[in-house]
Structure 1
Amino acid sequence: MDPFDEHLEEYLEGDDEQANVDSIDEQTDGGSMDVDHEEEDNNKENAEDKKKTYKRTRGIVRLTKIIADKIKGIKRHLRFNSRGQSIGTPNRELQCYSGMQAKSMVPINIDNWREVPKSILDSLWKDVNLAFHLDENMRKNIIGSVGNKWRQFKCNLNKKFIVPYLNDPSLLEANPHGLDKPPPSYHIEETHWKEFVKRRTSKEFQDFRKLQQERRNNLQYPHRTSRHSYTELEADLWGTTEQIDRSILWKEARKDSSGNYVTERDKVKGEAIEDMLEQRKEGKLIEIGTNDILTQVLGTAEHPGRVRGQSRGVTQRDYFHKPIGGGGGSKRLAEKTN
């Protein structure tokens, strides 16, 4: 019997949240509010709590099935899009499993993902290969995904179990040993927890945390997709537009579940993208390299590294200089399993 079976809910807790950077994403209250607004806010919170409970329950069921099949020697096949990116239900299962690995196989007292020992990385790769049919060329992206979830897990631990004491010193006065022991549900080693708390309560980290919060607050166009990646969004939109351009993905990621833009700023950029898409159809638009529709609408050059409007792992070379249909090992694996 897999040792994680009894604690699936704890390992899944916190997976509802999306981490874009290794930071603590927090929302501060906007001050007092009248009774009507408070009631409306409470209703929203209750609805959100129900949504999270549903997602967590669904995740537990999904993870239980993956582990049960792994014990039986049954591996899951992934599906890929034209760029060799994993999509659909199999990808959600892989992400769910990766989240469990991040919480249970990588110690939280390690300060930086680059410092994780190779032996642990090898164990992660070996373990996930017992549950999924994978190609060696996929290792970097999958291990990187575990790293992102590990950072988010540490952010969630900090936000839930440490920050309250920092924000309200009276809590620590009432419970002087409140930070001495790790939360029992996660089965974290006590020595690891103490090192983690020491780091997170240090002035160095508090300054870093403040800087990351300021950067977060300065984001002009945050996406609204939560855990839904650009890759999954592209899979949802496939067939509804003539071309899944990254500008289309970008504007759709700024809409709520009803299909409306969340802010007026998002709406202005979204409508500008739609206008330029029409110009492209009419042959009136000039696009060279990275200076495509999205770059022209946003008015800022593409930053080296990640590609806006695309999921993690997509480089400028992948998006702008490779023909659609690439994907290396992922594409070969897809062909083998179809």
Structure 2
Amino acid sequence: MVSKSQSKEAQASKGQGKDIAVSKAQSVPSNPAKKMRFTSSSKKDPSSATFDEVTKSTRGINTMSRVMKRKIQKIKPVVEYNKSGRSHGKAATEMQSYIGVLARTRVPLVDKKWTQLPKDLKEKIWEAVQMAYVVGEGGKKMVLSSAAKKWKDFKSTLTRQFILAFANEKEKLKEPPQLYNFIDKSEWDAFVASRLSPDFEAVHSEQSQRREKCKYNHRLSRKGYVGLEDQLEETIPGEEIDRSLLWKKAREDKQGNILDPKVAEKAKLIVSFTVSVLNL
């Protein structure tokens, strides 16, 4: 027979064992082999495009941990350039990601064009990139042009995914997206108001019509034409990589097929024209 006191002790020991097991399970990362490339804030990140369904870590004010560490150590990777004069390689790719972070977090979210922003603000972005990378002579224009595009793309993403998508649900527009929790509340309110104005609606409609006329979209994603050119130089060394070849390869899938009939027909015309020119 087991006494009541022994039964209670056994239950307590069992419960304590559960607590220890849970504690151990929580302390072990879900994927210990995976290293984080960016540091982030301790808030939560949305699992979807909505504002209230939050399950993961937020992006917060992202900083690239490797860049920050190298800055402290005063180590600066050298950005390389291809024969066309465009930056390429690992350092260039990482630098572009860093420029994106700077454009999102250091430039105010305002309804203005890049050319209307203060010069000292742009100068600070250039100085931050210079502190992290050896960009080379003439790199300032490239860096600021990239920052301008990334800032514009960021505003476009916010407009499409987080404002226009909730135009009829104003409650969800009261706070900045959890995914970008570094956005100032007053800036967000002003930006939302500008994007829901009749003037912007007219501009957005015009731009949408222009976008529909782009029939021959590429499949390059972040790699871009520079990355594709690097890839082709490795896979088909010795062959001249001209614009016609880049155009065609940029629209092929991994098996080398062009699925869109209109794009495939245009690619054939470009190839045949190129061959005829070379045979002259």
TM-score (norm 2): 0.73
Q: What amino acid maps onto 1:63 in structure 2? A: M
Q: Corresponding residue for 2:245? A: 248
Match of 1:206 in 2: 201
Which one-letter code corresponds to 2:112 in the other structure? D
Gaps of 5+ in 2: 1-37, 46-58
Corresponding residue for 2:225? 230
Query: How far off is 1:156 after superposition?
Result: 1.2
The answer to whether the aligner puts 1:73 opposite 2:71 as a matched pair is no
CA offsets 1:168-209 (integer angstroms, 9 cap, x no match): x2x33xx3xx32222244311111111111111111111111
Q: Does 1:96 align with 2:97?
A: yes
Q: CA separation in 2, counterparts of 1:8 and 1:106?
A: 22
- Residue matched to 2:262: 265
The structure whose Rg is larger is: 2
Shift of residue 279, structure 1, vs aligned partner: 2.9
Q: Which amino acid in structure 1 is aligned with residue 140 of structure 2? A: R
Equivalent residue of 1:229, what SS? helix
Quick check: 1:6 aligned with 2:7?
A: no
Residue identity (%): 31
> Structure 1 residue 10: deviation in Å?
9.6
Partner of 2:32: none
The residue matched to 1:107 in structure 2 has which SS?
coil
Asked if the contact 1:8–1:63 (Cα under 8 Å) also holds between the matched residues in 2, the reply is no
Please name the residue that 2:177 is paired with: 183
C-alpha separation in 1, matches of 2:114 and 2:160: 19
Indicate how the Cα distance of structure 1 residues 135 and 88 shifts in structure 2: closer, same or farther if over 3 A, else same.
closer
Which stretch shows the higher mean deviation, 154-163 or 95-104?
A: 154-163
Q: Cα RMSD (Å) of the superposition?
A: 2.6
Deviations 1:57-103 (A, max 9, x none): 9xx8x932122212221111112111221112112101111110111
In structure 2, what residue type is equivalent to 1:231?
Answer: V
Tell me if structure 1 keeps the 8 A contact 2:175–2:188: yes
Q: Between Structure 1 and Structure 2, which shows a larger proportion of strand residues?
A: 2
Answer 1 or 2: higher relative contact order, Cα 8 Å, separation at least 6: 1
**Deviation digits for residues 135-181 of structure 1 (CA, Å, limit 9, x no counterpart):** 34111111010110111111111222211222xx2x33xx3xx3222
CA deviation digits over 1:212-253, x for unaligned, max 9?
A: 111111112122212221111111111516211111111111
Query: Is the CA contact 2:103–2:150 (under 8 Å) kept in the aligned structure 1?
Result: yes
Supply the AA of the counterpart residue of 1:267. A
CA 1:95–1:10 in structure 2 vs 1: closer, same or farther (change >3 Å)?
farther
| Runs of 5+ unmatched residues, structure 1 | 12-56, 285-338
TM-score, normalization: structure 1?
A: 0.62
| Aligned equivalent of 1:192 | 187
Contact 1:182 1:188 in 2 (8 A): yes
Paired AA for residue 113 in structure 1: W
What SS class does the counterpart of residue 208 from structure 1 fall into?
helix
